[in-house]
Structure 1
């Protein structure tokens, strides 16, 4: 099928945002994550959690650990509701304990029996793709006429393999705001799915069909309002924060990242829309909730950052967390505005103290400026948490250990409130997975159950075996856990409740 001209695409796709009534019942499936116990994580997560709570007065411990609302569900729920699909519900398996060997078939079957549907939507990540497929198998057994549709961060790069699975009816790749309503309408009408964009599926003869064209992205200002009430208000007791988005897109492209908007100029939601969403989510799930901005680089555009900060300051009762990069914290106006508007946790991807690794796998971050940059952020009253990654392919064992000593020193010197530490995972969709040899990786296997940031690495390098890299990781988790046991720079006197209550979610670590 020839690629359609852009103006025809826009004309065709626009009709899918017209309202119409559908009788389909749609079930959003929140796939479980495996739990994997790492003994060294107990002290690590307990001390990390204490430091996080210290900077968020009023934060409540979760009851059933949903952690956060799956943003893709409320987002697409809003799109589907806007286009006439009124009957929908979430099906949560995430808050259940799941062993790496597979789902609890009896429990999942019983849950599915309580949630019959015509359409089951999945958006798993790499390590829980296996569980999503197991659930899809049960759905096809129990409801053979129901359709299973996969999309998202792992489904897009793995679309042809997924489409070949007997329990997967359709894979929607890349953005789904046009494609998913079009697919559902076509399914309901018994139409020709091959006429649609962004589709990959197994045809009756067993051949895999992949659309030769894609719908354009909807301008963010035209996206329908999310379906905030997709989950019952009681779910507010089970989440740590409310995820929010100000901008889609990150101009940087790190080789270990799988976010499908990396390398793209950010597109910003209207500030009024962002504030309206925050109000709606908090009204439904609890006014006490702080916000977590999911933008990969919240401070990319200084003037836009100042604009959203002013709106949050005017709102007056919002505390929030956000992410950015070390090289995007040079403007004192931005730092001042972040603090005044309620930023109480700023996450920065430091990843490694090795400049060569930064140059190879990240962009435009100069480690030599780290201490000065963190001191400036601290002096503006903003706690900083870093992301550290163990096991870059160019690193020796000594290089890895030096990075761990470095970040522990930043914590001890009051320059970091806390730090994550994860093992490097070459997820599908990243450059590290697609071209491992180019980066110096030798992948051991493609069993995605074990593509897990707390497990033995799935690769060797010329400098270290997976076993050697993993031992450095385990030692680093223990080392960081000890480093975070000292008195934090921020919130030292605000800890309340039994220390045993902190870090409980991570006792059997979820990805």
Structure 2
């Protein structure tokens, strides 16, 4: 996707905030397990702009530990004409403050916001911080590339689709941008990782460390009300990279990152297209790709697809079971059944796949009885690891709109989406339960799940047999066990 335009210096920044703040994940926070996501959307935009002939820099401050002064000094040395800044809901006040500091240091630079929060609230971002010139909405790699071309040619930004920009003192939404269908036209992100990042800085407890995270598709055909990526960034129309394009990048990773011990596919649902998933797995097998890998899946994945994924080297699965009450699952448009959850776990267990299960409370209609069913389901299914959280809602999602409309969002101060330590906060209640009750249940559920003798013996057997699982458990468990034993680090939000 070569772009003929004068070259421009472009800096892509995941700005400083809290240490190890995982801004790119679906629910940004400093996590109990030490999870830290790659800045994969920034890297995708950087890759496309580099391919288009622009000079780029990529700074991931939470991963590298760089403070604001270090980042500003690096920016001053690079002297970008365009500064692209990632945002998230809990960090947005800090993100805007960073832009103000950057504008002071780089007065002639165009400052653009990207990411989930900026896409959901572009006009508010422009109103709240004069130093921000515009927002590149949604899936922003093409938008940033075209913005850079317009700036290089001296053309007005209003000619670029997919922006919210200033028209005098007023924010104005420009023409919408069509999403890209042919993802093979985009360059891979892993060479950008190799050039600018240290993969050892990143961690996902569902993959063997060090790992590399990539995506093989964009858009999710499902419509869960709480999931932020499809509702603010990628949309619901599934678009795919071809199997050859994906496995070419996997082979690059195997060569360029000799320290890598696994790959994580951060697609919303890796096997959403069953046939394309099979093609990728078969191509991995044909080429002898031997790194273990992990992926996000739904419980409605077909058993034969799971079996093929296992043959191709899949080791870990991250799965949203969410609730033990079917009516609540239906209300958040999850489109799965409890019977599917049970069948999935039987098949995954038979295949020797390691499963991380996600469970949420505080869903519309939640009661003490429905929460009890969720805990019972978690214990019955017995995934290898589990997380229990009150539902996290973000601007731009149907869930956020529902809770706000029903008066069940207990604060609209976005900084309260996190505790002072940066852990997930609780900002919702249900009609029957206040925020404190949701937090107390999650603490109880966590202890009930992890401190069962049967679980502890099974886990001990797994780590004794599998050295990689021992290392993964040790790294994630060092901080998680401390939180488990001392009680909640989640707080109830208050306005």
- Provide TM-score, normalisation by structure 1: 0.80
Counterpart of 1:182 (choices 134, 139, 146) is: 146
Higher helix share: 2
Distance in 2, matches of 1:479 and 1:113, equals 52
Structure 2 CA distance for partners of 1:183 and 1:498, relative to 1, 3 Å: closer
Equivalent residues in 2 for 1:45-444, closer than 5 Å: 67-85=36-54, 87-95=55-63, 109=72, 112-113=75-76, 116-164=79-127, 165-203=129-167, 205-226=168-189, 228-232=191-195, 235-240=198-203, 241-260=211-230, 264-286=236-258, 288-316=260-288, 317-329=290-302, 331=303, 333-411=304-382, 416-436=383-403, 440-444=406-410
Distance in 2, matches of 1:198 and 1:498, equals 41
8 Å CA contact 1:29, 1:120 repeated in 2: yes
Shift of 1:482: 2.2
Secondary structure of 1:327's match? Answer: coil
8 Å CA contact 1:194, 1:209 repeated in 2: no
Q: Which structure has the higher relative contact order (CA within 8 Å, separation 6+)?
A: 1
RMSD over equivalenced CA pairs, Å: 3.1
Distance in 1, matches of 2:46 and 2:337, equals 41
Secondary structure of 1:460's match? Answer: coil
Distance in 2, matches of 1:231 and 1:288, equals 11
8 Å CA contact 1:172, 1:180 repeated in 2: yes
| Worse overlay, 498-507 or 457-466 | 498-507
8 Å CA contact 1:149, 1:172 repeated in 2: yes
8 Å CA contact 1:149, 1:170 repeated in 2: yes
Structure 2 CA distance for partners of 1:79 and 1:223, relative to 1, 3 Å: same
Shift of 1:398: 3.5
Residue 437 (structure 2) aligns with: 468
8 Å CA contact 2:181, 2:239 repeated in 1: no
Shift of 1:198: 0.9
Structure 2 CA distance for partners of 1:481 and 1:167, relative to 1, 3 Å: farther
Structure 2 CA distance for partners of 1:391 and 1:286, relative to 1, 3 Å: farther
Structure 2 CA distance for partners of 1:308 and 1:126, relative to 1, 3 Å: same
Shift of 1:284: 2.6
Shift of 1:465: 1.3
Distance in 2, matches of 1:299 and 1:119, equals 37
Q: Deviations over 1:293-320 (max 9, x none)?
A: 1111222232222211111222331211
| Worse overlay, 319-328 or 402-411 | 402-411
Structure 2 CA distance for partners of 1:237 and 1:456, relative to 1, 3 Å: closer
- Provide TM-score, normalisation by structure 2: 0.83
Distance in 2, matches of 1:404 and 1:349, equals 14
How many residue pairs were aligned?
Answer: 455
Q: Deviations over 1:316-360 (max 9, x none)?
A: 31211011111223x3x2122111100100111101111111011
Shift of 1:220: 1.3
Q: Deviations over 1:1-29 (max 9, x none)?
A: xxxxxxxxxxxxxxxx4433544222111
Structure 2 CA distance for partners of 1:308 and 1:321, relative to 1, 3 Å: same
Structure 2 CA distance for partners of 1:465 and 1:391, relative to 1, 3 Å: same
Structure 2, unaligned stretches of length 5 or more? Answer: 22-31, 204-210, 484-488, 491-495
Structure 1, unaligned stretches of length 5 or more? Answer: 1-16, 38-47, 50-64, 99-103
8 Å CA contact 2:76, 2:106 repeated in 1: no
Q: Deviations over 1:106-157 (max 9, x none)?
A: 5655565565433221222222223221211210111111121111222111
8 Å CA contact 2:320, 2:359 repeated in 1: yes
Residue 447 (structure 1) aligns with: 413
Structure 2 CA distance for partners of 1:234 and 1:222, relative to 1, 3 Å: closer
Secondary structure of 2:62's match? Answer: coil
